[in-house]
Every structure is written in structure tokens, then in C-alpha cells.
A and B are shown apart, each in its own frame.
Chain A
Amino acid sequence: MNFGKIFLVLKREYITRARSKSFILSTILTPIVLIAFGSFMVWIVSSETDSEKIVGVYDSTGVLADHFIELNPDRYLDVSDLELDSVKALVLGEGELDAYLNLEEKHIETNENAELIYSGSGGLAFTGSVRGDLRQIIQEERLARANVSEEVKELFARRPGLDSRKLTDEGEAEDDKAGFMSGVGFVLGLLIFIGLFGYGAVLMRSVIEEKTNRIVEVITSSIKPIELLIGKVTGVCLLGFTQFAVWAFMYIGISIVAVPVAGLIMQDQLTEMASQEEINAAAAEVGFDPASLDILSIDPMIFVYFFLFFVLGFFMYASLFAAVGSAVDSEQDTQQFMPILMVPLMGAYILNTRIMVDPDSSLAVFASLFPLTSPINMITRIAVTDVPIWQILVSFTLLIVSFYGIMWVSAKIYRVGILMYGKKASFSDLLKWIKQG
């Protein structure tokens, strides 16, 4: 290995990429797109999902319909006076009713299910919400008929809550950060996914560019292909760090500006509320405990792991991307090889959504040890749960071993591939190239 030459390659790769318009644009635009996407998701989740559907209540008991209308006057309409057939006609007709509920005495007295009959599409959210209303009203009616004391009714009206706290080694229960940390874990896994995929593709294009520009033979008359490969991978890896660092500074900068602004806005709202009780009530309502801000701190070790898994994962995947790039003549030709890269990466990403909520399942343990998925899945587990140290060590060991193996195979493909012009390689060609070395 000639490290002086590797450094020259690295420097060129880094400087020409970092100066390119596409790098500068993606550095600026990615956080904006992510924030926009995140806000969009929040908006979707929090927005009123009830579509304005009108449900006719065909009530033969005479007592339930009023409760429904009381509960949600926009949705429910008493149609008990009409014939059942004309109710059906309304449901089938143009927009007057979307559905109707047929309620009888037996629904109160026995456990028989009531029926919601609708035309067009029902929708899970809609039927779920009607079911909730129905349960509440029938339960209240049953309680009323059972002639129980106010005390019992009060007992039923109360909704038991659950606060979770975690027991640590020091024996103290600390505030559970599960919700926050699973978010952090997912984002870290997502960042590694984006990094492996995005910068892997950058490297692949760079290899293809050297091939199509026909400069690679000139370069290999000065430097070994493996040195060229290592230089390029390291250069692109540093490019990734640069981008992450810029984003980290942007995040810190935005937080510094945004927190006081958000504080001011909240201050305004708080002063509008007259009494301390109201403030407490409002805080309780949104589940906001002012003391909870300190749980937002993250254990710095997580970032050390993030760094290690990103670097190892990147070198492994990047060498594969480079091998694919060396085997083709243009970016269009890469498609036949892309599944090798896409399947494990996308698989790890999809698994991550499960691992975030269930970090100790055997699937999660497997995915965090399996080297093709571990860079993404292990970091999420580390953030979300207490991963036993042996699992982290096994994960690293497997990753390092497969990194060497994959780099070795990729370097062989790369070495032959970069000198093959005008020919689209097949999988059997690749096998031949590996054997040739």
C-alpha cells in the first residue's frame, strides 16, 4: 500500500465532489426536504381523520339516539321515525346518509353486536370511531339501567393512565425516555441508511465516470486498483461526514434560534391563561411536564457507535457499489445488479420500523447481528434499549469479517471490471473475474 498515492486519490475525490453543485445543493436541500416531510407526517397523523360522514341512527329503543346526537351532532342523525326501507334508500341515494346504525333492545340487554350498514367505502378510522361511540353510549345506558350508585358510575368514567419509569443499575427509577429514544434510534438508523445508499451511489457514479471517461487505465498505470478503490471510498466517506457535520451545525443553529422563539410564543399563551390551575390543566392536557425537557439529552456513546457502524457499514457497502460500478459501462446498466444492494438495505430499513417499537425481539437481535443489516439495525437498538455488550461485540466482529470478505471480492471484480470497456458483464462474468484473481 502506498499511502501517499491513496491520499492523492482521496484528496481529489473529496475536493472535486465537495465543490460540485450537486453536493452543495443536497447539503442544503436535504434537511429542508426532511423537515417538510416530517411536518407532513405530523400533519397527517394529527389532522382530523374523521371524514364528514353522516350516520343515521335507526333506534327502536327510543333512548339511544339522543345520546348519539348529544355526543356528535355533526355526525349522527335520528332517523327512527322513518321506515327502515326509506332509511336504506337514503343511504343508497345521493349523499343524504352515508350509513345507518340499527339499534334494538337486544343490543343493550344482551351482548349481541349492533350493525353499521354503509354504502360506498367505510374506512377503518370511521368504523372504529363509530364503534367507540357505540360502546360508550351502550355502557352508559346499561349502567343507568342497572341502577348503580353515582360512585360506581364515577368509577367507570375514570380512565386509568400509565406512567412508565425505567429501573437502572443504580437502582433509581429514572424517567423513561422510551418514546423519545425510539425516535432517536429510528432517525440514527435512517441516517445510516441514507448515508450508505446515498454516498454508495455517489461512489458508484464516480467509478462509472472514470470508466466512461477512459481515464482509469491511465490511473492504474500509476497506482494499484485496490489503492484507487480505498482512496475513493475514503474520500466519499469523508464527504459523508462533512455533510453530516454541516447538518449537525444547522440543527444546533436552528435550535439556538428556534428555542427562544418557541419559548416566546409559549410565554404569550401561558400569560393569557388566567390562573395557575389553568396552566396546570393545559399542561396536563397535552401531557407536557416542564421537568421532562432534560430527558432530551442523548448518551454521547450512541454517537460513537453511530460513527463506528457508519464507517464499517459504509466501507462494506461502498466496495459493493464500486464493484457494481466497475462491472458496467453506464448507469442504466446497473439495474441488474442493484437488487444485491437494494434488498439488504431496504430490508434493514423496513425492519427498523419494527425494531424501533420492539427492540428486544429475536428478529431484532438477528437483524442487529447480521452484517448486511447490522449497521442500520444495531444503532437503532442501541438507542432504544440496553443491548448486551456481547451482542455489540459480535455485531462488530461479524461486520469487520464480512467487510474484509466483501472488500476482497469487490476489489477483484473492480480490478478486472475497470479495464473492460463496451461490455455489460453478467453474473457469471463476475464469478469468472473473482476466480481470475
Chain B
Amino acid sequence: MVIINVENVTKAFGKNTAVNDVSFNVEKGRIFGLLGPNGAGKTTTIRMINHILTPDTGTITINGQISSPITQKMIGYMPEERGLYKKMKVGEQLLYLTQLKGMSTSAAKKAIDFWLDRFEASDWKKKEVGELSKGMSQKIQFIATIAHNPDIYIFDEPFSGLDPINSETLKEVIIGLKDEGKTILFSTHRMEQVEQMCDDICLFNNGKAVLQGDLRKVKSSFGENTINLEFSGDGSFLDQLENVRINNRSTNFAEIRVLNDQPMQKILELAMQHAEIHKYERVEPSLNEIFISTVGEDNLKVEEV
């Protein structure tokens, strides 16, 4: 079932078209990844889904309803730039934010107590946010996002600024939400997280959705045209290869994307002449490689991936 439907949406700021005729669907109960370099239009799209901005043309429907203050209640949103009132007490702040999402006072209090308890944060209720550590306030931020028990969760760059431990916790929470049948949409420019978590993806570049679909199908459609090579010895032979793109190169490893359908066996032969091979594996391309080949290297040079 489609829960978020984005159709032919365009949004311009002056002369700069941030989102250009973008369409995609998010299915209920799945984790949807929105990827692309900085400035590709992810945040603008997310803000439109949250009804913070409105599209110039095109429509966005949530659960079959055009985005509006009513659909805002169905979504828990954690923006990339996140924060809380520093001088407000944790309990009061959560109550305020949850009530703004339309919850009654008593239901909001119950939900807040439940989540504070679950995150072992009940002791902080009377503390001002300014007194909390960064990790603590991130937990409070997360509770503020989810306390009104929405069906849809949208996180814009949720892993930015998190240490590895908090990253791992957040990953578990997101997967936990999915297990409860919730829908999650998040944006990131870090491909490895998408590969680990997402069911579906949509790739953004320069305001356009350039590639989308089920992550596994997207990957297999590219075929096993990539070689993971582990070796020891002189790696300079890699520079002699033609019509390949080498990602993730290090002193004893290379991910080689083979272009032009040239025989992969030849690469192995060349490698064997120059170095000792520990491992040779033909795999589907990594998401990073898929992204580069879709967007084209030339288009990417200005952006960081």
C-alpha cells in the first residue's frame, strides 16, 4: 500500500530549481532511503512531505490525503538541523511539542512517561535541556519525534553528528519501528547505511530523482559486473587497467567496476602476473558505484558523494 505519494513535484527558490519534476512512492511498512549528494534536493522534498513548504507544481499525498496540517499529525519528523529550547525543562518541552502534534494533555503525558522510561531518562524530566549532554538531548529529541505515535517517521540525515554507539542505537530503533509496521523515510549521503537498512531507495541528483526502486532489484539489474580483489604486493598494475572504475582502493584491496563488458578473466590474469591474489570475487556493484554510474562522474565532480 502506498502511504506517501509524491507526484511530479517541482519547487524553485528564485532561479534555483531545488526539486525538478520528482515522483516516487513510499510503501507502508518499509524503510525508504532518499540518497544523493548535498544540495540534491532531499531536504526540500522532505520539507514538502512535512508540509513545511508547499510544491510549486505537483501533488503530495499522505495516506491518500493531500499534505496539510492534518497529514502533519501522521508524521514524526526529525530535521537535519535539530534542537530544543535550551532553557525549558525536558518534561514541559516534550509536552509542548507533543501537544502541538494534536495530542491531548493526558495522552501526551502518558506517552512521554512511557518513552522517557524506555530510554531510561525519567530522571531528566525536571532538568533543563541545556544541562544535558549531547547524547542525552539527542534521546530527548528522538522522543519528541515519536511520542505522538505517528504512522510515518521521517528523519533527515539522522546519523549526522552521532557517535558510533548512538548510530547503532538509532539503527536498532528504526528497525524496531519497522517491525511494528511503521513506515520510515530517511535521507542520507552515506551509502553503507542505506545498503544495511533500506528496502527501497530513491537517488537524487541536481533536483531530479535519477534512480529508484527496490534496493535489491536495483542492484541486481546492474549485474555482477564488479570485482572485489584482495591481494598483496605491488598494486600499481591497477593503473594499467582500461575501461574500469576503481572504488575503495587501498594497499591490498580494490573494488573494480568493469565497463564495456570486457572479459573479467583478463583482469585476474593481469593481477596474477603482478601480485599475489588472496581473493577474487564477482559481485553486484556497491550503491556508491551505482550512484556514480547513474549520475555520471562528470556531473559529480562538483559534489561530494
Q: Which of A24-32, A127-135, A219-227, A253-261 forms contacts with chain B?
A: A219-227
A8 at the interface (CB under 8 A from B): yes
- The interface residues of chain A lying within 8 Å CB-to-CB of B69 are 2, 223-224
> Which residues of chain B in 121-169 are interfacial with respect to chain A, using CB atoms and an 8 Å cutoff?
144-145
Q: Do the beta carbons of A215 and B84 come within 8 Å of each other?
A: yes
A401-437: CB near B (< 8 Å → 1, else 0) gives: 0000000000000000001010000000000100010
Question: In this complex, what residue of B is CB-closest to A416?
Answer: B13
Q: Do the beta carbons of B79 and A221 come within 8 Å of each other?
A: yes
B187-229: CB near A (< 8 Å → 1, else 0) gives: 0000000000000000000000000000000000000000000
- The interface residues of chain A lying within 8 Å CB-to-CB of B52 are 217, 220-221, 419
A5 at the interface (CB under 8 A from B): yes
Distance between B21 CB and nearest chain A CB, rounded to angstroms: 19
Distance between A383 CB and nearest chain B CB, rounded to angstroms: 40
Distance between A368 CB and nearest chain B CB, rounded to angstroms: 40
A265 at the interface (CB under 8 A from B): no
CB within 8 Å for A213 and B14 given contacts A218-B97, A221-B75, A221-B77? no
Q: Which of A8, A12, A221 contacts B50 (CB 8 A)?
A: A221
Question: In this complex, what residue of B is CB-closest to A227?
Answer: B69
B268 at the interface (CB under 8 A from A): no
Q: Do the beta carbons of B85 and A436 come within 8 Å of each other?
A: no
> Which residues of chain B in 49-65 are interfacial with respect to chain A, using CB atoms and an 8 Å cutoff?
50-52
B37-78: CB near A (< 8 Å → 1, else 0) gives: 000000000010011100000000000000001001101011
> Which residues of chain A in 205-236 are interfacial with respect to chain B, using CB atoms and an 8 Å cutoff?
209-210, 213-215, 217-224
A16 at the interface (CB under 8 A from B): yes
Q: Do the beta carbons of B14 and A219 come within 8 Å of each other?
A: no
Distance between A317 CB and nearest chain B CB, rounded to angstroms: 25
CB within 8 Å for A222 and B83 given contacts A16-B88, A419-B47, A432-B14? no
Q: Do the beta carbons of B85 and A213 come within 8 Å of each other?
A: yes
Q: Do the beta carbons of A222 and B81 come within 8 Å of each other?
A: no
Complex-state Cα separation, A217 to B51, whole angstroms: 11
Complex-state Cα separation, A218 to B101, whole angstroms: 10
CB within 8 Å for A8 and B82 given contacts A16-B88, A221-B75? no
How big is the B interface, by class? 20 to 34
Q: Do the beta carbons of A218 and B79 come within 8 Å of each other?
A: yes
Complex-state Cα separation, A391 to B100, whole angstroms: 43
Q: Do the beta carbons of A222 and B97 come within 8 Å of each other?
A: yes
B25 at the interface (CB under 8 A from A): no
Q: Do the beta carbons of A12 and B96 come within 8 Å of each other?
A: yes
Question: In this complex, what residue of B is CB-closest to A224?
Answer: B69
Q: Do the beta carbons of A213 and B83 come within 8 Å of each other?
A: yes
Q: Do the beta carbons of A218 and B77 come within 8 Å of each other?
A: yes
CB within 8 Å for A213 and B100 given contacts A221-B77, A221-B79, A419-B47? no
- The interface residues of chain A lying within 8 Å CB-to-CB of B145 are 218
Complex-state Cα separation, A432 to B16, whole angstroms: 12
Number of A-B contacts (CB under 8 A): 63
Complex-state Cα separation, A210 to B52, whole angstroms: 16
Question: In this complex, what residue of B is CB-closest to A228?
Answer: B100
CB within 8 Å for A214 and B88 given contacts A8-B96, A224-B69, A432-B14? no
Complex-state Cα separation, A377 to B145, whole angstroms: 48
Question: In this complex, what residue of A is CB-closest to B101?
Answer: A222
B249 at the interface (CB under 8 A from A): no
Q: Do the beta carbons of B79 and A217 come within 8 Å of each other?
A: yes
Q: Do the beta carbons of A214 and B72 come within 8 Å of each other?
A: no
Complex-state Cα separation, A209 to B96, whole angstroms: 17
Complex-state Cα separation, A224 to B97, whole angstroms: 14
Complex-state Cα separation, A209 to B86, whole angstroms: 9
Complex-state Cα separation, A220 to B102, whole angstroms: 13
Distance between B292 CB and nearest chain A CB, rounded to angstroms: 29
- The interface residues of chain B lying within 8 Å CB-to-CB of A8 are 96, 99-100
- The interface residues of chain B lying within 8 Å CB-to-CB of A419 are 47, 52
- The interface residues of chain B lying within 8 Å CB-to-CB of A209 are 85
Distance between B40 CB and nearest chain A CB, rounded to angstroms: 17
- The interface residues of chain A lying within 8 Å CB-to-CB of B88 are 16
Distance between B158 CB and nearest chain A CB, rounded to angstroms: 14
Question: In this complex, what residue of A is CB-closest to B83?
Answer: A214
> Which residues of chain A in 7-29 are interfacial with respect to chain B, using CB atoms and an 8 Å cutoff?
8-9, 12, 16, 20
Complex-state Cα separation, A210 to B81, whole angstroms: 12
B1-32: CB near A (< 8 Å → 1, else 0) gives: 00000000000011000000000000000000
- The interface residues of chain B lying within 8 Å CB-to-CB of A9 are 100
Which 10 pairs from chain A and chain B are nearest by CB? Answer: A214-B83, A222-B100, A217-B79, A221-B77, A213-B83, A214-B81, A221-B50, A215-B83, A220-B52, A222-B101
Q: Which residues of A contact B (CB under 8 A)?
A: 2, 5, 8-9, 12, 16, 20, 209-210, 213-215, 217-224, 419, 421, 432, 436
A-B contact pairs, 29 of them (CB 8 A): A2-B69, A5-B100, A8-B99, A12-B96, A16-B88, A20-B87, A209-B85, A210-B85, A213-B86, A214-B82, A215-B82, A215-B85, A217-B47, A217-B52, A217-B81, A218-B77, A218-B78, A218-B79, A218-B83, A218-B97, A219-B97, A219-B100, A220-B52, A221-B50, A221-B72, A221-B77, A222-B72, A222-B97, A436-B13
